[in-house]
Amino acid sequence: METDFKLNLTQRPRRLRRTEGIRKLVLETAISKNDLIAPLFVKGGDGQPEAIESMPSISRLNLEDLIKECEELFSLGVSAVALFPQVDPSLKNDDATYATNGDNLVLRSVRAIKKALPDLIVITDVALDPYTSHGHDGVLDKTGSVVLNDPTVQILCDMACQQAEAGVDLVAPSDMMDGRVGAIREVLDESGYINTGIMAYSAKFASAFYGPFREAVGSAQAARTKLLDKRTYQLNPANRNEAALECRLDADEGADILMVKPAGPYLDIIRDLRNASDLPVAAYQVSGEYAQIHAAAQLGWLDLEKSRDESLLAIKRAGADMILTYFAKEVAKALF
């Protein structure tokens, strides 16, 4: 309906939304391929890729297929990958001894990737949950009920040094033990790996969104539950100030990059961190976030691509400099 009625407005914000060209001209936030880090799951042996039921389009890859995936990602402009192993149950024990085996799955993967693609940034997880028979991120006391902080950190330091020797660019302690960033930085420097960076999982919350990941790496099977209680070391989802404290401590201890995990439910924490720190901020769009978007799209409740892109845009707008996301390859293709 048209009338002669006119509002006397000095500003009409819709002028800058009128056409696609104008909307692009005033765009404030955009996702770039340079923002993306692709998490990848590697398994032992030479079998076919194993689809992860709760994570559509994501599979556990043998070493040969892992290299092919890295080559494709690199050709699409994704410059970084983060590796997570599915360790054979026979190699797991309470003390996670396979984590420091000099020929373990992660170390072989790093060497192979760096040989094939020297310029691809490789990030490795420093935590014990893929290696323990109980699924926790650290070793337990004699009662089996308490995760021991300092003995766990000692193992993590050994892991980080071996990963640095293999050629990794960034070690990423995800365990949430107290003091581990400073200890890892010290041992890396003393061992001559002064150029190996630390991407710290600084604000990692005890989230309900990790279930598909735990299935993928096998820690859920080890613990016989996807709901393993890690509240004695991962952050309380209710606590904003606690997250700020953890980030300050990691920065003081020598972290090069600070991370918030999960991303989508914790956009306020990402913004707090961006405002408080000059360090680069990473955010991990976790397996549960990925799974819920796919599940809703499969039911016809959401548009997959639009929901995917909006979720990533929100993370970037909140202040993340880089995003670990299982959507990395398909987003890179869309941006190609």
Q: How far apart are CA 96 and CA 136, in angstroms?
A: 10
Find the mean pLDDT for residues 10-18: 96
Give the residue numbers annotated as catalytic, written as ranges.
204, 261
Average pLDDT (227-241) is 94
**pLDDT value of position 218:** 85
Could you please report the per-residue DSSP string of 13-81? GGGGGSSHHHHHHT------GGGEEEEEEEESSSPPPEE-TTSTT-EEE-HHHHHHHHHHHHHTT--EE
The rounded percent of the chain whose pLDDT value lies above 90 is 95
With a cut of 70, say whether residue 102 has pLDDT above it.
yes
Other CB atoms within 10 Å distance of the CB of residue 321:
15
Asked if 304 contacts 297 with a C-beta cutoff of 8 angstroms, the reply is yes
Which tens digit of pLDDT belongs to each residue from 254-275? 999 999 999 999 999 999 999 9
pTM across the whole model: 0.95
- pLDDT band (50, 70, 90) for residue 334: very high
pLDDT for 122: 98
What pLDDT score was predicted for residue 216?
A: 94
DSSP 8-state class, residue 100: G
Does 124 score more than 70 pLDDT? yes
pLDDT at residue number 305: 98
334: alpha, beta or left? (left if phi > 0; alpha if psi -120 to 50): alpha
| Average pLDDT rounded to a whole number, residues 107-111 | 98
**Domains of the chain with bracketed CATH:** 29-335 (3.20.20.70)
Is pLDDT above 80 for 220? no
172 contacts 200 by C-beta, under 8 angstroms:
yes
Q: Using pLDDT thresholds of 50, 70 and 90, give the confidence band for residue 219.
A: confident
Q: How confident is the model at residue 2 (pLDDT cuts 50, 70, 90)?
A: confident
Query: By CB neighbour count within 10 A (0-12 exposed, 13-18 middle, 19+ buried), where does 25 fall?
Result: exposed
| pLDDT tens by residue, 291-323 | 999 999 999 999 999 999 999 999 999 999 999
Strand pairing category for 197-204 and 170-173: parallel
Confidence category of residue 96, pLDDT binned at 50, 70, 90: very high
* Lowest mean pLDDT across 173-177, 178-182, 215-219, 237-241: 215-219
pLDDT higher than threshold 60 for residue 223: no
DSSP string, 191-219: TT-TT-EEEEEEEEB--GGGHHHHHHHTH
Q: Which pLDDT does position 221 carry in this prediction?
A: 66
Residue 1: the pLDDT is 76
Mean pLDDT, the chain, rounded, equals 96
